[in-house]
Structure 1
Amino acid sequence: MERREEAPLMDPETDAATTAGLPDDTVDVPPNEVNRYQLGLLAVAHALTDSYGSSLLAPLFPLIARKLDLTLAMVGSLSMVMGISASFAQPILGLMSDRFPRLALVAIGPAVAALFCGLVGWAPSYAMLLLVLLVAGVGIGSFHPQGARIANDAGRGSGLAMSVFTVGGNIGFGLAPLMGAFYFSQLGFERWYMTALPGLILAGLLGVAFQRSGCVVPQAEPAGDLGRNGNPGALALLTIAALVRSLIPIGMAVYLPFYVQGHGIPGLSNNAAKAFVVSALLIASALSGPVGGHLSDRLGWRRVMLVSILLTPWPLLASFHLPGHVGVALLMLGGFINMLPHPSSIVVAQQLLPNRQSIAASMITGLAWGAAGLFAIPMGAIADHVGVGLMLRGLSLVPLVGLLAVIPLHDE
């Protein structure tokens, strides 16, 4: 596989404003330079969109379980359905973005996600709640393929630049439990619909931006050359590695609140402790993006991925054996190391499938995450039988399985 770190992933004659799909008068940037304005705007949009994911509901899961009389496996299905709809739809949405680049999915997605996530408080039954979360997940998924492709163009294929985009989403996902706890304390289930307002405002702003110039995809090589230029086998292995990595934030976000409910954190109320621990893990995971992107640019993405896999399990495992804030700190360290390879994985995926960059990005940000979400129900079933603590300890060792996918890959 050929590395193309110094070659721009766009035609130098293509105007930066049209390729990025943002207002022309704000992005007058030389073709080989990173467009910081576009990356910043996309990162903010990514953060707010991903804040409507299942982690927003994580501190509410025990309350929802009590309200609707749900088992732990049923609670796991809530996260799974939202993750599946957000993730498995992304390859299709990526194809739509590549085929119809002026369809501003980066604006449509946040609107759908916010609107349906705001209906969670009104869901009268388990089945209706599943339906609401399924549609909200599709909205979240709509943003990612096109957003990642535009970010790659704006970042000129840099892992560090792509990390700006990914860290936005990870921060949004990480802050969401705190936001969910705050929203619930102020609004309760009765006025939960008001949580949709930030996403609807964002969608309107993005819609205005994209109405002016659209999301024109730079034309590289014809789609018929995909077999000659692409490497689907390596992309499949990269996707499997991303799937294994995603099991940690998915499983921890769903089931840590139940563990914390039985153990507590000194100085925090039960509800505050649940939100704090999940957010601490997810924010630490988010902050690893720029570090991982920089290290991948300097040392090679495969080396960073191998080190991440080998080091992740041990602080996670130790966190369940040490009390209070020390355990939380180790949990954060494990989450940080686990997500170091994420930005470079998206860049490498787009290099492996250069004529279908939206689809390639959706394999990492969508398909891998959705496939990992399928494991939420089995995790809950295991927790029902052996206890949440033992299940989470076993989950801490799962990243080692990723070695089977990474070892056959090569930097070049």
Structure 2
Amino acid sequence: MADKSITLQKPKDTPSPAHGEAQQATVYKILLAISFVHLFNDSIQSVIPAIFPILKDNLFLTFTQIGWISFAINFTSSIIQPVIGYAADRRPTPILLPIGMCFTFAGVFILAYAHTYVLVLFAVVLIGLGSATFHPEGMRVAHMAAGMRKGLSQSIFQVGGNAGQSLAPLLTRYIFVPFGQFGAIGFTFVAAAGILVQSYVAYWYHGMLKAGYTFKKRAAGRMLDPARRKSIRNATLVLVVLVFIRSWYGAAISSYYAFYLMDAYQIKLDNAQIYIFLFLASGAIGTFFGGPLADRFGRRNMIMFSMIGTAPIALILPFVSPFWAAVLLVIGGFVLLSSFSVTVVYAQMLHPGNIGTVSGLITGFAFGMGGIGSLVLGNLGDAWGIGNVMISIGFLPLLGLLALLLPGDDKLDEWSRE
């Protein structure tokens, strides 16, 4: 096998068939390309929460109906992502990358013209399908282009997505407030650009597969002893629960905190969106720095710190002045999302060789649970009042103590090598 890998003719950034991950250099042009597409994809997804206040007024919606819209896009993405990831692990399909963005293009086009609640739901389902198609294969591309720098590659990939999500409040302030729902039509150009970039990435992806790239598999994966298998399963379950908690709190802030500011402080809609932007933008920065910080302080420690560190901020946020709310949102966003890329890498190390499946589960579950959280919180907002909801969700990050049940980094490294 060694002789074969030496004599095979291939580009310098294409790995040998048997040792793709070990010998390949980090391909930054592909990482940046897939990160920009992640930004395109998630900025379009961010159109949905950004347009909530406009849809609420145009279609006379309740908080519960807004919750169903959020549920539709997020749950669609959640259901489909692990399925596509599982299929991609067994038969990689590069063409899915531009196809997924075509779904997104159709969804955002329909959303711009949708004047009924049902049509809005249909549009956001299409956008959700586009996102579900992109993320598992996008994760595989990021993993493939990373070489030995898996943490850095995930930070680059994920920061694009979180940066795109952070644009939602600015979209509300500068597009949907002045132009209304029809302002969504401009994002068809973003989707079109995404299709072009995805086509380039898919071409590179196809070339890598044709050259013989293979993902690392767990040696004798089916021969794991029952105790090890149980430990990995339990660690995966804990990780999924932590993603659930983080997603619920993030959904509460991004979808409903603007309504809380408008109700409690009589802040106008366009000004309220600045607070949400501060939270999401600092979260994008936290996502980027989370990987290097995890390398320094440990993956499990970083996951636990991101949750527990958010708890005191979440608990006092509903009771502070608007100025201090802005300060706390900046700190809280950075801390909460500093574990975003770390969580993905941790899951990939638990299940080497199943990059698409695991990535689809973690990121898909994040979106899906955020959608369920939005639905539940919307119902609670109608029943209890949005202020009481904001106070209640402040206790969620305390459940980050569950991270103590995760295996330490030494044990995780040992498992991933075997």
Q: What TM-score comes out, normalization by structure 1 length?
A: 0.86
8 Å CA contact 2:235–2:405 kept in 1: the answer is: no
CA distance in 2, matches of 1:119, 1:92: 26
Relative to structure 1, the CA distance from residue 368 to residue 188 in structure 2 (aligned partners, 3 Å threshold; closer, same or farther) is closer
2:256 counterpart of 1:255: yes
Relative to structure 1, the CA distance from residue 334 to residue 394 in structure 2 (aligned partners, 3 Å threshold; closer, same or farther) is same
**Which deviations, in whole Å up to 9, do the C-alpha atoms of 1:332-354 show, x marking residues without a partner?**
21121111111111111111111
User: Which letter maps to 2:236?
Assistant: L
Residue 159 of structure 1 corresponds to 151
RMSD of the TM alignment (CA)? 2.8
8 Å CA contact 2:94–2:205 kept in 1: the answer is: no
Residue 351 of structure 1 corresponds to 349
Residue 284 of structure 1 corresponds to 282
8 Å CA contact 1:77–1:377 kept in 2: the answer is: yes
Which of 71, 78, 83 is equivalent to 1:92? 83
CA distance in 2, matches of 1:123, 1:290: 36
Residue 394 of structure 1 corresponds to 392
8 Å CA contact 1:57–1:177 kept in 2: the answer is: no
CA distance in 2, matches of 1:338, 1:374: 19
Residue 200 of structure 1 corresponds to 192
8 Å CA contact 1:253–1:278 kept in 2: the answer is: yes
Residue 414 of structure 2 corresponds to none
Residue 216 of structure 2 corresponds to 220
CA distance in 2, matches of 1:185, 1:128: 21
Residue 235 of structure 1 corresponds to 236
Give 1:114-193 correspondences, 5 Å limit. Answer: 114-155=105-146, 156-185=148-177, 187-190=179-182, 192-193=184-185
**Which deviations, in whole Å up to 9, do the C-alpha atoms of 1:246-292 show, x marking residues without a partner?**
11221211111211222458xxx723213212211111111101221
**Which deviations, in whole Å up to 9, do the C-alpha atoms of 1:115-134 show, x marking residues without a partner?**
20232132232222112111
8 Å CA contact 1:120–1:192 kept in 2: the answer is: yes
8 Å CA contact 1:110–1:203 kept in 2: the answer is: yes
User: Which letter maps to 1:376?
Assistant: S
CA distance in 1, matches of 2:404, 2:122: 36
8 Å CA contact 2:279–2:330 kept in 1: the answer is: yes
Relative to structure 1, the CA distance from residue 235 to residue 271 in structure 2 (aligned partners, 3 Å threshold; closer, same or farther) is same
User: Which letter maps to 1:357?
Assistant: I
- Which entry has the higher C-alpha Rg, 1 or 2? 2
Relative to structure 1, the CA distance from residue 357 to residue 227 in structure 2 (aligned partners, 3 Å threshold; closer, same or farther) is farther
Which of 321, 325, 346 is equivalent to 2:319? 321
8 Å CA contact 1:245–1:399 kept in 2: the answer is: yes
2:37 counterpart of 1:41: no
8 Å CA contact 2:15–2:24 kept in 1: the answer is: no
Which of 355, 360, 378 is equivalent to 1:362? 360
Relative to structure 1, the CA distance from residue 280 to residue 408 in structure 2 (aligned partners, 3 Å threshold; closer, same or farther) is same
Q: Where in structure 2 are there 5+ consecutive unaligned residues?
A: 412-418
CA distance in 1, matches of 2:183, 2:297: 50
8 Å CA contact 2:177–2:270 kept in 1: the answer is: no
Which of 53, 61, 76 is equivalent to 1:70? 61
Relative to structure 1, the CA distance from residue 104 to residue 343 in structure 2 (aligned partners, 3 Å threshold; closer, same or farther) is same
Aligned residues: 390
Q: Where in structure 1 are there 5+ consecutive unaligned residues?
A: 1-10, 21-28
User: Which letter maps to 2:53?
Assistant: P
- Residue 137 of structure 1: how far off its partner (Å): 0.6
Relative to structure 1, the CA distance from residue 190 to residue 175 in structure 2 (aligned partners, 3 Å threshold; closer, same or farther) is closer
CA distance in 2, matches of 1:222, 1:322: 50
- Residue 91 of structure 1: how far off its partner (Å): 0.5
CA distance in 2, matches of 1:125, 1:16: 53
Relative to structure 1, the CA distance from residue 59 to residue 344 in structure 2 (aligned partners, 3 Å threshold; closer, same or farther) is closer
Range moving further from structure 2, 91-100 or 397-406: 397-406
Task: Give the structure with the larger helix fraction.
Answer: 2
CA distance in 2, matches of 1:168, 1:410: 28
CA distance in 1, matches of 2:183, 2:144: 40
**Which deviations, in whole Å up to 9, do the C-alpha atoms of 1:67-123 show, x marking residues without a partner?**
222111111111111111122210011123223313333322223223202321322
